[in-house]
Amino acid sequence: MLKPPRAVADEQPRCGHVGASRILLASVSATLPFVRGAIGDYSAYWSSAVIGLVLVMTITGRVSVPPRGGGFLIVVALLSCAAVASSPEADAPLGSVVVTIQMIAMVGFAPLAASWIHRHRPSHIRIAAVWFTTAQTASSLAGVLQAAGLEVLGESSLYGRSPGLAGHPNTMGVMASVAILITIEGYRRQHAQRSPLRGILVATFIVNATGLLVTGSTSSMISFVAALLVYAYLRRTSALVYVVGSVTALLTLALGVTIASSSGAFASPVDRLAQVTGQTDEISTIEDRIRTVAYAWNGIVDNPLFGAGMDDASGGTFDGVVLTHNLPIRAWYQGGLFAFIAIATVYGIMIGAIIKASRRRPTDSALPVAVAAILAAFALTSAMLQQPLYWAIFSTSIAVALHSNAETSKPSVIKAVQSRVACS
């Protein structure tokens, strides 16, 4: 008599495979905060390795569609159509195809790969978060030292903004924001267990909060505040926590003011706001962003269906170099209507995850949803279309959020069935 085959989900992987995948994922996470500031071609090598890893997982079947994540399959199809439609219009057609393949990997397949990892190796995601936070804390600490007027590994503060070890203040601002949320969630869990790790988590929070402050990245700060509100709402945070958080923020701001008074290498948030909005003699970054969006919109009006091409050479705006600093508009301008609908689908999936999570507060999906919200908000004022380091975080967090939403809904279904049985 033949025995029925075991389900794939029930098969236990060999320890060697588990150890290798854990090390690989930890390596990616631990180096992610430093990728953009890496020396030489390391950044390109890292991006190629991550994209290659996603494609290998896809080819070998190590992907799964997360609950209510079928839209990512639509994203893959739409971006494939965008490659066909926009590449003939590009200055460098082959480059346009390559960029689109990268996007298909990181925007369409990466959430499916992250879903498979979360389903079969959930501990790997937690370990990756620890490695990322540890590495980012080192980068934030470097940023604080730069704000104090020191040079760290050849990097120093420029125009009052500290890049840390991330290569750019905006990048470090986003990474620090993610690390802060992870730290807050970690402290919440450790506080319930009265763990001695709470002191380390508080120190980690202070370093990264100060690191976010010294970047002078208004877009990162706004994105963080929006994500923090999402997190607090989904966690059903009490008023006391809001008060403690506000006091902590004020103390962190006081620390930043102290640094500013002792060094000219730090621009306060007030100074940065004045510079960004054009109230100083320096270049207004808001004005530049608006110019890129306006230029891109004119291009959309002229060619709404096919786009200008996905490569950077085709995406230059008013000066021929600066790219559109708005993800949906840039996708439409360069990739045509197919690419715009693909990005709109991604935002739709994220908004759906927030709505689903809000119906079951407090929920464990608060952290991954909030992390995804940071990247989604930041993308509205940045040129992150083809940057794998940002998509790696977004894809992982949205996949985990969709799974967490589904897992949270299970107890209520069980209780409903039990109540019906009891009544009968």
The tens digit of pLDDT for each residue in 5-63 reads 444 443 444 555 556 667 778 888 888 999 887 666 788 889 999 999 999 999 999 99
pLDDT of residue 80: 95
pLDDT of residue 408: 65
Six-digit token string for 213: 């402050």
Range of lowest pLDDT (117-121, 132-136, 218-222, 416-420)? 416-420
User: pLDDT tens across 313-362, in order?
Assistant: 888 898 888 899 999 999 999 999 999 999 999 999 999 999 998 888 77
* Separation between Cα atoms, residue 225 and residue 231, nearest integer Å: 10
Phi, psi (deg, nearest 5) at residue 152: -120, 115
| Rounded mean pLDDT, 188-198 | 76
Six-digit token string for 51: 């994209």
pLDDT of residue 412: 45
| Alpha helices, H only, 39-90 | 42-59, 71-86
Range of lowest pLDDT (94-103, 238-247, 332-341, 365-374)? 238-247
CA distances to 52, 159, 179, 263 from 227, in Å = 30, 27, 12, 31
Q: Residue 111's pLDDT band (boundaries 50, 70, 90)?
A: very high
Q: Is the pLDDT of residue 423 over 60?
A: no
* Contact (CB, 8 A) for 179 and 189: no
pLDDT of residue 255: 64
pLDDT of residue 319: 85
Report CA 19 to chain centroid distance, whole Å.
26
The neighbour count for residue 95, using CB atoms within 10 Å, is 17
State the amino acid at position 344 in one-letter form. Answer: A
* Contact (CB, 8 A) for 395 and 107: yes
Q: Is the pLDDT of residue 275 over 80?
A: no
pLDDT, greater one: 157 or 84: 84
User: pLDDT tens across 70-103, in order?
Assistant: 999 999 999 999 999 998 888 888 989 999 999 9
19 strand-pairing partners: none
37: nearest Cα among 160, 106, 136, 177: 136
* Separation between Cα atoms, residue 240 and residue 183, nearest integer Å: 18
CA distances to 114, 164, 342, 409, 421 from 353, in Å = 16, 32, 17, 12, 31
Q: Is the pLDDT of residue 133 over 80?
A: yes
Decide: residue 173, CB within 10 A, 0-12 exposed, 13-18 middle, 19+ buried. buried
373: nearest Cα among 217, 243, 181: 181
| Rounded mean pLDDT, 153-182 | 87
| Rounded mean pLDDT, 90-118 | 93
CA distances to 26, 51, 135, 315, 327 from 330, in Å = 32, 21, 31, 8, 5
338: nearest Cα among 83, 72, 106: 83
Phi, psi (deg, nearest 5) at residue 350: -65, -45
Six-digit token string for 157: 């503060």
pLDDT of residue 244: 64
Q: Residue 268's pLDDT band (boundaries 50, 70, 90)?
A: low
pLDDT of residue 337: 96
CA distances to 77, 132, 286, 304, 342 from 98, in Å = 16, 28, 30, 22, 17
* Separation between Cα atoms, residue 400 and residue 149, nearest integer Å: 40
Q: Is the pLDDT of residue 399 over 90?
A: yes
Range of lowest pLDDT (2-11, 60-69, 114-123, 382-391)? 2-11
- The dihedral built from the CA positions of residue 104, 106, 108 and 110, taken in this order, carries a sign that is positive
Q: Is the pLDDT of residue 279 over 60?
A: no
pLDDT of residue 343: 97
Considering the chain, what is the average pLDDT of its residues?
A: 82
* Contact (CB, 8 A) for 405 and 363: yes
| Rounded mean pLDDT, 170-185 | 94
* Separation between Cα atoms, residue 61 and residue 115, nearest integer Å: 12
Instruction: Report DSSP letters for 75-89, one per residue.
Output: HHHHHHHHHHHHGGG
Those residues whose C-beta lies under 8 Å from the C-beta of residue 223, and which sit 6 or more positions away, are 174, 177, 373, 374, 375, 377, 378
Q: Is the pLDDT of residue 369 over 90?
A: yes
- The full set of domain ranges for the chain reads 68-404
Q: Is the pLDDT of residue 241 over 90?
A: no
pLDDT of residue 180: 93
Range of lowest pLDDT (67-81, 210-224, 279-293, 379-393)? 279-293
pLDDT of residue 420: 47
